[in-house]
Every structure is written in structure tokens, then in C-alpha cells.
Structure 1
């Protein structure tokens, strides 16, 4: 049987180049590859890096769907269904908001983990007993999580192929996050399985792509002790409460942590409270930053603009705070109420949702009515703060005190952000993987 797995193309945000599209491979689809390839022929087509081929007739087409790619996924589905192929739609948006999916655009909806759905989908297909909806009926145990098929990658097409996940989900339930939906669980993998994946990617530079790498501190501390002999250089996303666990920070530093992605979201206490981000206490932000910087670890701070406590002045005060605290890199978003989340339900009830065009739900468009500013003020402020953060003046002003991380800091700020278009041209000429490797060597050696 031929199974084709497809990642629809995402829409770039204004500050992104094609580097964003080539950043990392789709681990979810690679997990399905490992689930089915022993008994079936498998193809994987990532529309971010290649065209989709419609000249074949797979038995099953599996499409991974995020909220903003749903319209494109429906177009892809139509092409294959017209040829008689069975189309299975899964992924984070299907799991979170399956009840919002239009009727008769896919043959099958796959809700929850692939490990708990795909084996039954294939069995029922072969027995001509396919159902319209499949759910992962119970929470996975750590040893049930299947590793991605890293050997299936077209490595030259990705900036980072050495991406590894240690868990699924997040223990927190912030209103604007997919994890606020009941369908999502949090579970750590077996440490032995993660170590095997690190070996499989064949690199000492690892990007852990968990929603919350330190969501279970006991597990994370044991894992960090296990990877110390590997002499890795790694990055991960954590919640800010990690900064107040000195033992954790020491273990992170000793095991090779280079930077941590942290969702600060806002420096305004009212804004944070409004989305139930209970782990964030704005009065402790600067203490947390100092604790992380003292370990020589960089911070990639994520901010969400347009929260109900925000005003047009929020952009200037946030910029000044970022520069003052020498935050190394910043990721900015416009608040986006994803269908299926607590935030969407609340805004829908308040009549604040302005469009149901889901292709605009990529954190770069204003799709709801803000409270403290106009739509235009929110969008222009979002563009303004990005340009200001990565201006030459503010890159210099944010230069880290720790000399050991300055090479990495300037590599990211100049090659990825400020001069990303030039870097993307180099990637096209030499391959994304090669440029990613060169950037890592530069950051390590300077």
C-alpha cells in the first residue's frame, strides 16, 4: 500500500524569509513514517521545501494541519479525493478544533496522537471498514511514543535537522495556547528513547522542540545528568519558573545549554492575568533574567501584543525593557485566538472575532477586535517593535555581558534577523543544512 504524507505550506510572517520555511523537518509526519514504513511504501512531501506531486494515486494521503494551513490542506485534499484517494487529516489543529472542520473536506479526522490512531486507520482501510473519526482513546505512556524517522530526511533542505523532542504537550493551560484545549496531554518520553534520538541525528548541537522542556523538573534534572557525558550544545523552550530553580539552571549550564526560549508574553501584569498565565509573575521577570544570564545562557523572549491590558504605549515600554535587560533575541506575535482554545471561546462569546479566514491565524494578522487600541495601531506596533529590536543600534545595545555567548548572539541577530534575506540566498546556493552548520561553527569558534 502507498501512503503519502503531506505538510502544507505555511504563510510567512512579515519579518520572515524562506529560512523560516526551511528551519526544521516535520517530526509529526516523520513519526507516522516510522509507524507504517515496515509494511507499506511511504512518501513524505513538505510543501515548504518542495512541490506536491499530484501525478500519483496513493491509497491514503495523510495531511498534517495547523490552523493557518487548514485552507491549503482542504485544497490539497480536494485534488487527491477527486482521484479516489482516501485523505486523512490530523495534526494540532484537527486535535484541538475537530468540531470546527467543515464537513466532507476530508475522509477521516485523526484526533490525538498518531501512535493511538494510525495503526487502526490502516487496519480498517485494509478491511474496508474505515470510519470518519479516529481518536487516541487513552493518554500515551512515555514508552509508547515513537521516534521520528530521521533517516528519511532530505537533510540539505533544512537548516536544522538535529531536532529532538523529550515530551508531548505542556502542564500549563494558558488561554491563548493550544494546550488550553482538553484534548492535549503532557507526558515525558523514556530517557533511553531520547538518548537514542540524539544519537540518530548525529550532531552535538541539539534543538529540543518541546512545548516545555522543563515541565516535569524531576524528569528533566535526571535527563540533564544523563546527557552530560555527551558534551552537547543545546537549546530548548521552558516556562519562566525554571529560572528560580538553581539546581536546574546549574545542570542546564553544565550539560551544554546555550539558550532558552521563554514566553514572557507581556511585562504588564494585567495583560498576563487576563490569559491565565499563572506561572508568570511580571514583578519577578528581571530576577529571572539575571539568574539565567549569570549562568551564561542566552534568552529568546516571546511577547504577545494585543492582550486586553495592552495599549499603544505597550510597544515603546516593552522595547525599552528588552534593551535594558539585554534580551538576546525576541520573538513577537499578535495575539491570535486559535479555534478550540479558551481564548477563542471567550472572544467568540464577546463578539470580537472579526474573520473566520483561518489562513490569517498565524500571529501576524489582527483577527479580533482589540480592547486597548485599534486594529491598525496593533498591527503597526507589531511591525515597529520588530524593526526597532533588530536595528543596528539596538543590536549593539543588547550585546550580552557574557563574552562566551557574543558569537552566537551576533550570528543570530545579524545572519538570521537583520540580514536574513542575504543569508537565505546563501542557503539556496549552498544548502540550508550547510549554512546552519557553518553558523554553528562560527558561533562556537569566535
Structure 2
């Protein structure tokens, strides 16, 4: 996969230092089903709302001088920024935002902007790359390094604070991304297709970030990894640092990583997680290359989470190839019987760049990009119509989610887990330890050279960019 694609060959190979770079992430449709905010057509369950930082552009801006961001601006705010003058505008977007991106580019062309960049999971959408002067894939800091290498400021993690609301309760959250990328290669997920390499944050940087969040008195840390705990030794270090600081935490992870570990993690501040269930049929899970995370393992972990009073958001995909309306309604009944605090149902969507997109290319019946949101059946299913798929999604929302059950669960978790953890840390806690581990250091960032950027592997910190630079040079020829 190419990391940089240049549409206009006249554009410079290295960006002048005085060029102002503005990176933008468009507003996300709040009704998109795959976001933690619980939304439905009736507004019946609009009781969970959480901030979602634009991680890609945040990391780039944090690590390069002269790069600014606009996170989810209105079109008016975006145009006001263009009026002030900017040399480069980069847009990181999803497929669902394709029409918004076209509108943004029309606005950009009205002003004296020298280059327009494109990236994010939406960049493989048909017709997207032709809109930009340069396009980027992979981890943002690595992808832009050949252009901005003289602006590099070291491998830093952005300080990300946001609010979460549940009914009338609110909390201040701190966000951490320890490893970006995922060792699992589930075919329906855009992540392995767009960012196939795993990229870790140095432990020393995580320590500074957690100290900052502790100083800001955050209620909890949201660990934004696609699969937290996927590297056991590295993740254990992070869990211990969280525990030492008395920080509660919530993560995205999988049943493989949690099996047999929930009670231990609970005692170290684990509140709960978002975990993919995706199907109750092993044949379907194997078809999508789920890496051994099959139904029995998922069920064991769901029970383990419940037994330990840890909150679970379970994602579930409907309209698989072997699904029927009858089988999906049976799935809803089973899911409702499991007492999962929150179920996030979606519809299988063959996103551009993923294997299903190629496999279903001649079966796509809906090319309206606003429907590519995990909430519409955009391909021709053998037995399910788009209308039935939409109704099943709505019925799952209604039958598997309850405000009263959630409030009872949150109260129970507070009594059994949160309050005891806080008391234990207050009266029996120890000061954070000072860790030193040369294998996960960031000393190589000093006197950075092009062959020395940072790791895509936790155990090997200096090999990646040299290969990246070679690929960049081969792309030019």
C-alpha cells in the first residue's frame, strides 16, 4: 500500500517551513449507529453521549510544528478559517462524509490554498483520491513525515480531554491511544486495511499523559486502542500505571484478551469495555477471519463481565451472508436475554478498501454514500431487503437496551467496584513507580533522522521509516 499518492506532479516534495497547514475532520452524523452515542429514530435512547477525539489529525498536529486542526467544524466555521488564509488544507474523513468533503473542497478552491490533502478511512471511497492533490494512508505521523520532517517535534501523545453524559450525569474523560492498529485482521473492519501496521506510544510518554490527566482530576481514562491488551507485557505496564495513580479506565478490546482476566483488571480500575460480539454463529465469524474469537469465548466473557459488575457495550452485526430475517430475530431474543448493559447493532457494510468491498462489488445496490454508515443494507442480500434490515436494527435497539437497566447497572458497579477502588487507592495506594525499560524507550527520537522515525512494533523501534522512505522514493519513479 502506498503511503502518499500525488495527483498533481507539480507539487513540492518537501513542504516549506513557513507554509501553514490546517487539518480538518468533518462533522459526523450523530445518527450513525457505530458511534457510542446511543441514537435511534424515535430518540428513545438518547442517554449516552461521549466525545470522540479526531485521533489521526490530533497526533499529526501534536508532533509537527506549524500544523493546526479544526475538529468537527460547521461549514461556516470552516469557511471563516479559510478566509484568514492557509497554505495547505488536509481533510481526514469517513466514506459517509464523502458529499461533505466535496462541498469543503469546493469552498477551498475559492481561496488561495496551495495544496489539498486527503486521508482517513474514507480515502479509498471510489472517486475520493481524484479530489485531492495528495492522499495519505497509514498512520498520519509516518505518512506526512517525508513532507514535514524538518518540523518534527518528537513522538508525543496529544492531551485529550472530553465530556461524557449519561442522562443528567456527566464526567470529564481523558483519552489514551497506546497502540494504534490491530493484530486481528477481521475482514469487515477498515482498520487492518487502512493501517495494517501496529504503532505504539512510548511508555515514558504515556506516563506523562497519565500524570497530566491525574492533575486534571479526570473521572476516567478511555483507552482508544482498537484492541487494548493485545500486547500483554506492554499493556500490563499501562494497567499498573493507571492503578498506581488511582485512575479508573474503560477500553476497546476483545474476548480473547479479557478471558479469565476481568476480576484482576477490575481490581486495578477497569470499568468496562466495548467488545465485538458481531455474530452468534461460528461459521459467520470464521468467514470474517475473527481470529479464534468465537461464540463460546464471547459468551464466557459476557458472563465474566456481568459477574464482576463491569460495564459492557457489545457490538453486533446483522445481515451477514447466511442471515435470514428469522435468524436475526432469534439473535435479538438471545441478545436481550444476556443482560448486556448496552448492545450496539449495525448492518454489515462492505467499506471501500476492505475485502468485502471487492467481494460484493457487483452486488452493491446503494451508492448513496450517506447510507454507508453501518445502518443501511447497501448490497443485495439473498434473502433480506434494506427495509427489513433497517427494521431489525431498530427492533434490536428497542429490545436490547433499557435506560432503567443501565442506571441500575451503573449504580451497582459504583457500589461494588468504583467506590471500593477509590477507597483502596486513597488509604492503601502507593506512589507511581518510575519505570525504565530500554526496549520501550523513546530515546531514539533525539537527533531524529529520516531513517529513525518511530516504531510500528513494540520490540523494534528503529526499522520502520527506512522502509517507508524507500517506498516513498519508489512511488515517485
Same fold, judged at TM 0.5 (above): yes
1:356, distance to aligned residue in structure 2 (A): 2.8
Q: TM-score, normalized by length of structure 1?
A: 0.75
- The residue aligned with 1:403 is 412
Residue 220 (structure 1) aligns with: 235
Q: Which residue, 304, 311, 320 being the options, matches 1:298?
A: 311
Note the 1:14-413 alignment, pairs <5 A: 15=39, 23-37=51-65, 40=66, 42-47=68-73, 51-52=77-78, 53=80, 54-85=82-113, 86-94=115-123, 97=124, 100-102=126-128, 104-122=130-148, 145-150=155-160, 161-181=173-193, 183-201=195-213, 202=216, 203-244=218-259, 246=260, 248-348=261-361, 351-391=362-402, 395-396=404-405, 400=409, 403-405=412-414
Counterpart Cα distance in 1 of 2:318 and 2:277: 11
- Tell me how far 1:262 sits from its aligned partner: 0.7
Give the secondary structure class of the aligned counterpart of 1:51.
helix
**Partner SS state of residue 325, structure 2:** coil
* SS of residue matched to 1:71: helix
Q: Deviation of residue 317 (structure 1)?
A: 2.1
Q: Tell me by how many angstroms 1:398 deviates.
A: 10
CA distance in 2, matches of 1:229, 1:397: 29
Unmatched segments (≥5 aa) in structure 2: 1-18, 33-38, 419-477
Question: Are 1:32 and 1:148, in contact at CA under 8 Å, matched by a contact in 2?
Answer: no
Q: How many angstroms does 1:311 deviate by? A: 1.3
Give the Å deviation of 1:172: 0.4
- 1:379 to partner: Cα distance: 1.2
Spell out, residue by residue over 1:223-261, the C-alpha distance to the aligned partner (whole angstroms, 9 max, x if none).
2123211111110011111232x3x33441122111111
Q: Count the aligned residue pairs.
A: 379
Label 1:154 to 1:36 Cα distance change in 2 as closer, same or farther (>3 A): farther
Contact 1:239 1:279 in 2 (8 A): no
Given that residues 24 and 163 in structure 1 are in contact (C-alpha distance below 8 angstroms), is that contact kept between their aligned partners in structure 2? no
Q: 1:144 to 1:253 in 2, by over 3 A?
A: farther
Range moving further from structure 2, 295-304 or 6-15: 6-15
Structure 1 unpaired stretches of 5+: 127-142, 410-446
Aligned mates of 2:201, 2:229 — CA distance in 1: 13
**Higher share of residues assigned helix:** 1
Residue 22 of structure 1: how far off its partner (Å)? 6.4
Deviates more, 1:62-71 or 1:279-288: 279-288
What is the aligned partner in structure 1 of residue 22 from structure 2?
4
Structure 2 vs 1, CA of residues 230 and 249 (structure 1 numbering), >3 Å: closer, same or farther? same
In the superposition, the TM-score normalised over structure 2's length comes to: 0.71
Q: How far is 1:277 from its partner?
A: 1.5
Question: How has the CA–CA distance of structure 1 residues 172 and 249 changed in structure 2, closer, same or farther, with 3 Å as cutoff?
Answer: same
CA distance in 2, matches of 1:88, 1:72: 15
Q: Is the 2:272–2:312 Cα contact (8 Å) retained in structure 1? A: yes
